[in-house]
Amino acid sequence: MTTNNRANFGSKLGVILASAGSAVGLGNIWRFPYMTGEHGGAAFILVYLGCVLLFGAPIMMAEFLIGRRSQSNTARAYQKLAPGTPWRWVGRMGVLAGFLILSYYSVVAGWTLEYICAAGLGHFADKAPADFVNFYNSFVGHPWLPVVWAAVFLLITHLIVVKGVEKGIERSSKLMMPLLFILLLILAICSVLLPGAGQGIEFLLKPDFSKVDSNVLLSAMGQAFFSLSLGMGCLCTYASYFKPDTNLPKTAFSVAIIDTSVAILAGFIIFPAAFAVGIQPDQGPGLLFVTLPNVFQQAFGGVPFIAALLAVMFYILLALAALTSTISLHEVVTAYLHEEFNLTRSKAARLVTGGCLVLGMLCSLSLGLGKDYTLFGMTLFDLFDFVTAKLMLPLGGLFIALFTGWFLNKKIVREELTNRGTLHLRIYGLIIFLLKFVAPIGIAFVFINELKLL
């Protein structure tokens, strides 16, 4: 058994903020806005909220209870709770998903480092909106610069993971999360006040349901799983560090609310600003990196020092938010290799970092030099995003819901969700209903609908 000496998070707030630290990241501030932009705005957001409530929150509770009960890495968790059954493949698929996500996520995380430097060195001063588009395109298409930044980001993640992260994650999350929230709020206010912002606000608030097709459903569902770090054992691993008195349903709701608020706030920063400066909302992955420097320029350009300072602060916080997520992704794979293959922790971490570096390099190149090489009509970068967020995570979520709703002993489920009967949980029946029926049928429905179209 490798469960002795398992570390615990120190406080209830620490538990919530560390889990929120894994959840809040590029998914909220980079991926959510461009997905919303590509899928028509408010209608996408409503479908997304539905997915968070009906699938996300209950599946997060399920991951929490599996992790805390088993006190293990995600692959071993299923082996412990369901010995000798194929359920262990759910854990293994999660580990693979984590590895693939980390590879392309590090590339985007690396972009934030370039933007910190560019903003800090004053490269954004006096630039017109079109210049930011060019800056982004020439940077992302550069043959080696983004690869170097991705490597730097992976290296930082590596060093933290090797050191062991319990205290580090908890302490840094406590400081960073509130700071990020305040800065996002300030930026959202600036963006909404820009002349011509009204169209962007309307885009966020006025749903056009004619835009909702099966692709929107799949994208919103994938985004919910990605943003909440669900379906691949990340929160399951964190929950193995929870104390027996951690209130699992309450923690899950808090994390879901924090995560969703950050995403919506990011929307209120990006779209009003994008419309104000005439940038199309369906730009894809470049949206955040093109519109935000514009917000700083337009709102504070008169005082270049303030504009640069705010930009640097924002990209530092974005990098840190990404870092708490990359740590959680790296930790899932490292813990698995370390515990299941008897490798030392540092050797396991080296393998993960090395593997991600190679895949990340290919992903990055696929946006520039290798643009013309596609698989199933997608660049490698898009393919990784599609396979993980839209296939592996929802599929993982489906199995987690089935495992908890149907397979796992009801006594265990009740004990964990109510802390052995000490919590009065009025919505217990509802949670079980969602896990047993709504989440599995809903996820299966979205898959089937999409596959019919293929």
User: Which residues are near ligand PHE by CB under 6 A?
Assistant: 22-23, 25-28, 101, 226-227, 229, 232, 234, 325, 328-329
Shortest gap between Cβ of 23 and ligand PHE (angstroms)?
Answer: 5
Whose Cβ is closer to ligand PHE: residue 25's or residue 58's? Answer: 25
CB within 8 Å of 324: residues ≥ 6 apart: 18, 21, 22, 24, 25, 169, 172, 173, 176
Whose Cβ is closer to ligand PHE: residue 22's or residue 366's? Answer: 22
Both structure tokens of 366 = 């696929």
Shortest gap between Cβ of 325 and ligand PHE (angstroms)?
Answer: 4
Helix axes 439-453, 214-227, angle to 10 degrees: 130
Whose Cβ is closer to ligand PHE: residue 27's or residue 56's? Answer: 27
Whose Cβ is closer to ligand PHE: residue 101's or residue 287's? Answer: 101
Shortest gap between Cβ of 263 and ligand PHE (angstroms)?
Answer: 8
Shortest gap between Cβ of 453 and ligand PHE (angstroms)?
Answer: 26
Three-state DSSP state, 375: strand
Identify whether the C-beta of residue 64 lies closer than 8 Å to the C-beta of residue 255.
no
CB within 8 Å of 269: residues ≥ 6 apart: 33, 184, 187, 188, 191, 292, 295
Shortest gap between Cβ of 195 and ligand PHE (angstroms)?
Answer: 32
Q: Which residue is nearest to ligand PHE (CB)?
A: 27
Triad 223, 225, 227: Cα angle to 5°: 65
Shortest gap between Cβ of 128 and ligand PHE (angstroms)?
Answer: 31
Whose Cβ is closer to ligand PHE: residue 162's or residue 333's? Answer: 333
Whose Cβ is closer to ligand PHE: residue 99's or residue 136's? Answer: 99
Three-state DSSP state, 206: coil
Shortest gap between Cβ of 197 and ligand PHE (angstroms)?
Answer: 25
Q: What is the CA radius of gyration of the chain?
A: 21
Identify whether the C-beta of residue 37 lies closer than 8 Å to the C-beta of residue 283.
yes
Helix axes 248-276, 12-23, angle to 10 degrees: 40
Whose Cβ is closer to ligand PHE: residue 101's or residue 431's? Answer: 101
CB within 8 Å of 71: residues ≥ 6 apart: 3, 6, 240
CA 241 to chain centre: 20
Shortest gap between Cβ of 121 and ligand PHE (angstroms)?
Answer: 27
Shortest gap between Cβ of 253 and ligand PHE (angstroms)?
Answer: 17
Whose Cβ is closer to ligand PHE: residue 73's or residue 227's? Answer: 227
Identify whether the C-beta of residue 332 lies closer than 8 Å to the C-beta of residue 163.
no
Whose Cβ is closer to ligand PHE: residue 63's or residue 450's? Answer: 63
Q: In b/e form, how buried is each residue of 2-19, taking b as 16+ CB within 10 angstroms?
A: eeeeeeebeebebbbbbb
Three-state DSSP state, 259: helix
CA 49 to chain centre: 15
